[in-house]
Amino acid sequence: MRTPQARRRQFTFRINRSMTVIAMGYLFWFQSCDITQSIDSNSPPELTSSQVAYAIVNEPFTYTASAKDQDDDPVEFTYSQLPPWLKAEGNTVSGVPTVTGNTPFMVTANDGQGGQVSQTVKVFVSASDTTVFDDIIAAVKLDSLLRTVGQLLGTEWIMIDGTSSVIHARYWEFFGALLAGKWLRERLEGFGLLANMQNYMEKGNNPYAIQPGVEFPDSIYIVSAHYDCLPANRSSPGANDNASGVAAVVEAARILSQYQTRYTIFYALWDMGEYGRRGSKGFARQARSCGLHIAGVIDLDMIAWSQQGTKNLMLHSSAVRNSDYMADIIQYVNERFGLGLNLLETHDSPQLDFASFWQYDYGAVGLNQVSTAYYEDLLHTQADTIDKFDLPFYHSVARLATGSLAHLAQVVDTAVPAKGIGPILGCTPTR
């Protein structure tokens, strides 16, 4: 180990200035000279341990801090903001978590020479072993997603009340939107869920289905997407915008309806998302009026197109309630399960449906593609078709949405969930 004296470095300054001074009858002349000064220098240590850790409820957990020091000084670690279940000893903290969620703490590395560095470590505590989530994410099937997209585009037949039909033109005023809403309700009901239709205004219908939580039935996580499309001249099939998001919601319901969760899940599809977000606003407004406890919302809008295979995906969050916590969970799922998406997290207020919930003080996040000039030319045109999809990208986003919802709602068992009714929008909203 080098001593502090060994790190004493010399710095030489040269003054290049000549001057003549007459004082008290004498002539003085100054020219350039060197001034050498020794200054102590020390490089702070660099933390090399992960800023993210994973734990399981009621199972032992250990986190080990590590750092490197450019000056080869021995490094000591201290911890702060530790939750009660974690205890520190040397460079490790350990304990048994008793609750799920995001548990952050601070670790500081000190080299004893005045250099130190700190970072926040986020511990994600899951309800069960990650093999359950591996199974859930693997169950998301691309062919299942594409079949639902095709049915919404009218390229495949659907069954409503036992009768074959075809969906066309999902503009909110047209029969196609009414047909789509009714079919989506029946689809969700077919998974053994209690399905409902919120009629928030004339010709405005939000189909949604309830999966009751076994431990916190009055706290709700929502996964959602708008099912209407533009323009009104029937020219756009609305494949990416937004049959892609709707199909991902239906796929999440197909899979997660076979599990028990601690929290209640709503699978919700918004009408009039293209018309001032009226569907999501109507739902959020009535939920607030009824005192419904929405723990958080994941909204999906245009999730099947990626610019030149970049895998870029916008993750919209905010400071409202637990929005940032939900964004952390989504980042964790993407990293932990190797989904390979490039999540671009931002705090903004675009005119998308998740913002309706911010307006009523509910936590919410949104997933949608990165907007480009190329895609803007396709938007709301007859060119918005399945052949434009980046299929691996779309598959990964749908897996991300389902896996994140499974973590937030806290899957606890593979048994078929109890068929209780759960909370419903059962009051008249204030206007």
Residue 99 has pLDDT above 50, yes or no: yes
The answer to whether residue 426 sits within a structural domain is no
One domain for residues 198 and 336: yes
Structural domain includes residue 381: yes
Do residue 185 and residue 323 come from a single domain? yes
Residue 326 lies in a domain: yes
Tell me: do 171 and 103 sit in the same domain. Answer: no
Treating both helix axes as pointing N-terminal to C-terminal, what angle do 391-409 and 323-336 enclose, rounded to 10 degrees? Answer: 120
Residue 180 to residue 249: CA distance in whole angstroms: 14
Q: What is the pLDDT of residue 393?
A: 96
Q: How confident is the model at residue 430 (pLDDT cuts 50, 70, 90)?
A: very low
292 and 187, same domain (yes or no) = yes
Residues near 331 by Cβ (< 8 Å), separated by ≥ 6?
315, 343, 345
Could you tell me the CATH number of the domain that includes residue 225? 3.40.630.10
Distance CA 395, CA 416 (A): 25
Q: Do residue 394 and residue 288 come from a single domain?
A: yes
The pLDDT value given to residue 236: 78
The predicted pLDDT at position 31 comes to: 56
CATH number of the domain encompassing residue 107: 2.60.40.10
Confidence of residue 8 (pLDDT cuts 50, 70, 90): very low
Average pLDDT taken over every residue of the chain: 86
65-69, 374-378, 387-391, 427-431, range with the lowest pLDDT: 427-431
User: In this predicted model, which residue has the larger pLDDT, 294 or 177?
Assistant: 294
Together in a domain, 225 and 307: yes
Does 260 lie in the same domain as 200?
yes
| Tens-digit pLDDT profile for residues 77-96 | 999 999 999 999 999 999 99
For the chain, what percent of residues have pLDDT higher than 70?
85
Between 380 and 27, residue with greater pLDDT: 380
Predicted pLDDT of residue 114? 87
- Hey, which of 34-38, 229-233, 423-427 has the most confident mean pLDDT? 229-233
With respect to residue 423, please indicate whether it lies within any of the assigned structural domains.
Answer: no
196-255 pLDDT, tens digit per residue, is 999 877 777 899 999 999 999 999 999 999 999 887 666 678 999 999 999 999 999 999
In a domain, 404, yes or no: yes
Q: Which amino acid is at 135?
A: D
Neighbours of 17 (CB within 10 A): 9
Q: Is the per-residue pLDDT at 427 higher than 80?
A: no
Residue ending a domain, among 126, 154, 175, is 126
In a domain, 179, yes or no: yes
CB contact at 8 A, 210 and 112 = no
pLDDT over 80 (residue 375) = no
Is it the case that residue 409 has pLDDT exceeding 50?
Answer: yes
Determine, yes or no, domain membership for 431. Answer: no
Residue 284 domain boundaries: 130-413
Distance CA 113, CA 116 (A): 9
Instruction: State the pLDDT confidence band at 5, using cuts at 50, 70 and 90.
Output: very low
In the prediction, which pLDDT does 422 show? 65
Q: Which residues contact 27 (CB under 8 A, 6 or more apart)?
A: 20, 21
User: What is the mean pLDDT of the segment spanning 402-424?
Assistant: 80
In this structure, the strands spanning 116-126 and 19-23 are: unpaired
Lowest model confidence (mean pLDDT) among 91-105, 124-138, 143-157: 124-138
**What pLDDT shows up at residue 63?**
92
Does residue 4 have a pLDDT over 50?
no
| Same domain as 151, residue 235 | yes
The reply to whether 248 and 349 lie within a common domain is yes
Return the C-alpha torsion angle 338, 340, 344, 345, nearest 10: -10
> How far apart are alpha carbons 195 and 21 in whole angstroms?
97
* d(C-alpha 375, C-alpha 17), whole Å: 64
210 & 344 share domain: yes
Query: Among 6-10, 68-72, 324-328, 332-336, whose mean pLDDT is lowest?
Result: 6-10
Are 253 and 293 contained in the same domain? yes
pLDDT of residue 6: 43
Tokens standing for residue 121: 């470590």
Last residue of a domain, one of 96, 126, 156: 126
Q: Is residue 197 part of a domain?
A: yes
What pLDDT, on a 0 to 100 scale, did the predictor assign at position 237? 87
Domain count, the chain: 3
The verdict on 22 and 138 lying in the same domain is no
Percent of the chain with pLDDT over 90: 56
N-terminal to C-terminal alpha carbon distance within the chain = 72
Instruction: Kindly tell me if the per-residue pLDDT of 429 is higher than 60.
Output: no
pLDDT-derived band of residue 170, with 50, 70 and 90 as boundaries?
confident
**Burial level of 46, CB count in 10 A (0-12/13-18/19+)?**
middle
Q: Which of 126, 144, 171 is the last residue of a domain?
A: 126
CA atoms within 13 A on the CB side of 394: 29
